[in-house]
Amino acid sequence: MRWLGVDYGRRRIGLARSDASGTIARPWQAVAAAGTPAASARLVADLVTTTGADPDDAIAAIVVGLPRRLNGDDTDLTPDVRAFAAALETATGLSVSLVDERLTSVEAESRLAVRERDWRRRKAQIDAAAAAIVLQDHLDAFAPTPPAGDD
């Protein structure tokens, strides 16, 4: 089962996909936001439906990063993300989960800085990388626990 991770922003939306087993998240792409949360949701829904032609590539569920302040309060972007997630769920018919995304952009920036020195190139990749971190955190949190061995 493939998952889609989304890092919603008013200018760009970062997207990540999991592998077919739903264990590893990888940055996919960043797309320009479409003005309103609902219009952006339709844009992402179109990408999801057009890339799922092969049954192995079909997205089965979506995780959207929910921005929160360090103290847990909503940010000014949080209501837009909630509206985007609701519109995305309606547009795709898929389950959409909201996941805390605190500090994911900072983590994505530091990971990218290790291998890419040019900040312009990092900026182009950061949204998809942040989406991959949100998705990987979700996949790790709900990964099945392996049975205890007799070692």
pLDDT in tens, 31-80: 999 989 999 999 999 998 876 556 677 899 999 999 887 787 888 989 99
Contact residues for 45 (Cβ-Cβ < 8 A; gap 6+) = 88, 91, 92
Model confidence, pTM: 0.81
Instruction: Report the percentage of the chain scoring pLDDT > 70.
Output: 74
Q: Which domains does the chain have, with CATH numbers?
A: 2-141 (3.30.420.140)
User: Residue 145: which pLDDT band, with cuts at 50, 70 and 90?
Assistant: low
Determine phi and psi for 68, rounding to 5 degrees: -140, 155
